[in-house]
Structure 1
Amino acid sequence: MEVTRAVSTRPYSGDITFNAKSGQKGSTSLYGTEVHATRYQYGFAMTPARLHRDDRVIEVLKGLTSLGEVTGNHARFLYDFSPDSLVLRWTHDFSPRLLYCFEEDPNGDLTMPDLVRRVQVGDLDP
Structure 2
Amino acid sequence: MDDGVKGSVLGELHALRDQVTGVTDSAVASADGLLIAADTGDVRPDVLAAMAAAALGLGKSTADEVGMGELREVVTRCQSGHIAIYAIDRTCLLVVLGDEGLDIARLHLQSRPAVTRLAGLLAA
Say which one has the larger Rg: 1
Do the structures match in fold with TM over 0.5? no
Higher strand share: 2
Structure of greater relative contact order (alpha carbons < 8 Å, 6+ residues apart): 2
Higher helix share: 2
TM-score, normalization: structure 2?
0.29
